[in-house]
């Protein structure tokens, strides 16, 4: 990891549907363009800036942006439930291509982490001529089997936590928790959405701790609004 650096330029990309995407660049303006795609969807986006340390600032023009519905982009997913049906992988791929054009990049290295790896793969498949390289970490493809693993299968490792997670949507004995939460996180009642988001975030905090010393607190995100946005996304 390289030392922390600050962006030398930042701004917003306005999309036709009213979405505003925050972007920033760091490192060497004349360096090899490298795009970072954060995990999620939803959550903090690139707010912490730690992703910049993955690249040599002397050799790379480091580009990051907060995907639609997250970070410093607007609107947040939790504030615009009616637009979620349009918040698709294909729409995000189009966002990336619009950002490339806005920044005048011909080709870039695309680096995705977790959900960002799914998005990186989708972008590379759609626009292979725009990718000088693809670097993936914590790879996911968005396949149903992977979603079922993190929302149900891995429950055998954390049975008590999983039972609480699944029982909240009434499917501790059978069914897919993800379907129950998808319904609750779009409920008209804000209180219902908030409680469901807390339970979703609590479970995320547990299952991502596999292979580590365990969670350091009850939630993955300390801020209730971040928990809500992460869950809704």
Answer whether 66's CB lies under 8 Å from 72's CB.
yes
Instruction: Give yes or no: residues 130 and 157 share one domain.
Output: no
Q: From CA 98, how far away is CA 120, in angstroms rounded?
A: 15
Say if 78 falls within a structural domain: yes
The pLDDT tens digits for 9-60 are 999 999 999 999 999 999 999 999 999 999 988 878 899 999 999 999 999 9
Q: Residue 51 falls within a domain, yes or no?
A: yes
Which pLDDT band holds residue 213 (cuts at 50, 70, 90)?
A: low
pTM of the model: 0.92
Residue 133 and residue 166 in one domain: no
**110 located within any domain:** yes
Confirm if 134 and 110 have CB atoms less than 8 A apart. yes
Instruction: Specify whether 28 is located in the same domain as 78.
Output: yes
pLDDT band per the 50, 70, 90 thresholds, residue 89? very high
Inter-residue contact 214 to 157 (CB < 8 Å):
no
> Cβ contacts of residue 114 below 8 Å, gap of 6+?
39, 40, 137, 138, 140
Segment 140-168 shows an average pLDDT of: 93
Same domain? For 113 and 176 the reply is: no
- Among candidate residues 41, 69, 34, the one with its CA nearest the CA of residue 142: 41
Give the H/E segment covering residue 111: strand 108-113
Identify which of 183, 147, 177 has the alpha carbon closest to the alpha carbon of residue 162: 177
In terms of domains, do 174 and 159 share one?
A: yes
Cβ atoms of 86 and 94 closer than 8 Å: no
Computed from CA positions of residues 154, 136, 38, 212, in that sequence, does the dihedral angle turn out positive or negative?
positive
Residue 205, pLDDT above cutoff 70: yes
| Domain around 196 | 144-232
88/134: higher pLDDT: 134
Identify the three-state secondary structure at position 156.
Answer: helix
CA dihedral 160, 163, 167, 172 (to 10 degrees): -150
pLDDT of residue 189: 94
Same structural domain, 107 and 159: no
The residue whose two tokens read 């759609």 is 126
**What backbone phi and psi angles, to 5 degrees, belong to 14?**
-85, 125
Indicate the number of domains in the chain: 2
Lowest mean per-residue pLDDT among 158-162, 175-179, 215-219: 215-219
Same domain, 200 and 160: yes
What pLDDT, on the 0 to 100 scale, is given for residue 142? 85
């Amino acid at each position: 990891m390289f030392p922390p650096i600050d962006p030398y330029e930042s701004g917003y990309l306005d999309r036709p549907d009213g979405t505003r995407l925050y972007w920033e660049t760091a490192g060497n303006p004349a360096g090899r363009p490298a795009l970072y795609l954060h995990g999620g969807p939803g959550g903090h986006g690139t707010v912490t800036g730690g992703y910049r340390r993955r690249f040599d600032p002397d050799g790379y023009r480091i580009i990051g942006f907060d995907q639609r519905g997250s970070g410093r982009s607007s609107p947040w997913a939790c504030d615009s439930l009616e637009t979620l049906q349009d918040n698709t992988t294909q729409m995000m791929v189009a966002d990336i291509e619009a950002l490339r054009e806005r920044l005048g990049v011909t080709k870039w290295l695309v680096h995705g982490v977790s959900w960002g790896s799914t998005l990186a793969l989708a972008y590379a498949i759609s626009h292979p001529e725009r990718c000088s390289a693809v670097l993936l970490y914590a790879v996911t493809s968005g396949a149903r089997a992977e979603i079922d693993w993190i929302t149900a299968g891995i429950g055998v490792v954390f049975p008590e936590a999983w039972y609480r997670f699944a029982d909240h949507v009434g499917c501790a004995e059978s069914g897919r928790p993800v379907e129950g939460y998808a319904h609750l996180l779009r409920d008209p009642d804000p209180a219902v959405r908030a409680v469901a988001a807390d339970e979703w975030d609590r479970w995320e905090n547990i299952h991502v701790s596999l292979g580590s010393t365990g969670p350091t607190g009850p939630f993955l995100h300390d801020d209730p609004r971040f928990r809500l946005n992460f869950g809704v996304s």
